[in-house]
């Protein structure tokens, strides 16, 4: 792995490097707390999700004690699902957002796009089991270069995906491009910090409990170490809101949930 000799701050979250504010301008980027060549990051992220694909859904329940379901339902509410709507769910992985959306909007359809074929394979199998195969398609593609036409989507979602993208601004610009005028962008993502009174407990939970559970349940400590480190590198909600505005979205807003653990961001293409 082409990593810099950064000291490893994983055991001391207070030493985590600051979140990148200018990811697109650099030839290097972060992979968790490591610095890597920008060209290498997508492959490293792919390796993480190849490794966890089959255990991904059970690990979500283990890591969040099921609370990710509440967060995802809140994301769906923010879309205001309507019958017949077509949703693009980017970094859609194993289909959790897609299935919730289709359940909420009769006659709706979803394109799930993800860079990882293994995650999509699990998602397509789940769609078949749940009776959603006719209303969903699973497409391999990069959030930074979406294989869809301009102004083709009613709504765009990305849940726990954008922090893995090498150049976040490019993914946001692509979201803007593929949305129809009036279409809305919705993002559910972890925030780098929680309310200060809980920060110590949250750090222990993130850096001790999660990697240990990753090892126990998915036999993969490193991937879950990356996942918690990547959260600390993601911009604050205030900064991310500015990034969404800066690619052209209007009426941007965000709200934090669970004491700041996650935030839901939205913006409209006018």
Ligand X SMILES: C[S@@+](CC[C@H](N)C(=O)[O-])C[C@H]1O[C@@H](n2cnc3c(N)ncnc32)[C@H](O)[C@@H]1O
Q: Does 124 bind ligand X (CB under 6 A)?
A: no
Q: Does 97 bind ligand X (CB under 6 A)?
A: yes
Q: How far is the CB of 266 from ligand X (least distance, A)?
A: 16
Q: Does 161 bind ligand X (CB under 6 A)?
A: yes
Judged by beta carbon, residue 159 or residue 218, the one nearer ligand X is 159
Torsion sign (Cα): 80, 84, 101, 266: negative
Q: Does 210 bind ligand X (CB under 6 A)?
A: no
Q: Does 92 bind ligand X (CB under 6 A)?
A: yes
Residue with tokens 């692509």: 174
Q: Which stretch binds ligand X (CB under 6 A): 42-50, 124-132, 218-226, 233-241?
A: 42-50
Q: Does 189 bind ligand X (CB under 6 A)?
A: no
Q: Which of 70, 116, 71, 64 is nearest to 90 (CA)?
A: 116
Q: Does 178 bind ligand X (CB under 6 A)?
A: no
Bridge partner list, 112: 89, 138
Q: Does 142 bind ligand X (CB under 6 A)?
A: yes
Q: Does 127 bind ligand X (CB under 6 A)?
A: no
Q: Where are the beta strands (DSSP E) in 193-257?
A: 250-257
Q: Where are the beta strands (DSSP E) in the chain?
A: 28-31, 34-37, 86-90, 109-114, 136-140, 153-159, 179-190, 250-257, 262-268
Q: Pick from 13, 32, 81, 93 the residue near ligand X by CB under 6 A.
A: 93
Q: How far is the CB of 5 from ligand X (least distance, A)?
A: 25
Q: Does 235 bind ligand X (CB under 6 A)?
A: no
> What does the alpha-carbon distance between residue 156 and residue 4 come to, in Å, rounded to a whole number?
35
Q: Which stretch binds ligand X (CB under 6 A): 25-33, 90-98, 124-132, 243-251?
A: 90-98
> What does the alpha-carbon distance between residue 266 and residue 253 come to, in Å, rounded to a whole number?
5
> What does the alpha-carbon distance between residue 84 and residue 42 come to, in Å, rounded to a whole number?
34
> What does the alpha-carbon distance between residue 261 and residue 257 come to, in Å, rounded to a whole number?
6
Q: Does 96 bind ligand X (CB under 6 A)?
A: yes
The token pair that represents 73 in the structure block? 């339902």
Question: Which chain residues interact with ligand X by CB under 6 A?
Answer: 42, 45, 49, 90-93, 96-97, 114-116, 119, 142-144, 159-161, 164-165
């Amino acid at each position: 792995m082409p990593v810099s000799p950064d000291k490893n701050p994983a055991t001391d979250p207070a030493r985590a490097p600051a979140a990148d504010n200018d990811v697109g301008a650099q030839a290097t980027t972060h992979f968790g707390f490591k610095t890597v060549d920008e060209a290498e990051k997508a492959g490293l992220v792919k390796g993480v999700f190849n490794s966890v694909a089959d255990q991904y859904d059970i690990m979500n329940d283990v890591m969040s004690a099921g609370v990710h379901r509440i967060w995802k339902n809140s994301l769906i509410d923010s879309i205001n699902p309507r019958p017949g709507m077509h949703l693009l769910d980017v970094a859609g992985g194993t289909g959790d957002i897609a299935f919730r959306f289709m359940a909420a909007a009769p006659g709706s359809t979803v394109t799930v796009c993800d860079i990882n074929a293994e995650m999509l394979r699990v998602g397509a199998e789940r769609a078949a089991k749940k009776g959603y195969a006719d209303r969903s398609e699973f497409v391999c593609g990069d959030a930074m270069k979406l294989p869809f036409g301009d102004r083709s989507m009613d709504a765009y979602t990305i849940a726990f995906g954008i922090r893995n993208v090498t150049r976040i601004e490019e993914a946001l610009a692509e979201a803007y491009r593929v949305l129809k005028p009036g279409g809305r962008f919705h993002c559910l993502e972890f925030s780098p910090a929680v309310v200060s009174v809980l920060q110590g407990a949250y750090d222990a939970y993130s850096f001790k409990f999660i990697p240990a559970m990753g090892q126990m349940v998915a036999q993969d400590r490193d991937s879950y170490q990356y996942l918690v480190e990547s959260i600390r590198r993601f911009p604050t909600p205030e900064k991310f809101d500015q990034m969404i505005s800066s690619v052209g979205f209007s009426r941007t807003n965000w709200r934090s949930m669970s004491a700041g653990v996650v935030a839901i961001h939205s913006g409209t293409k006018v």
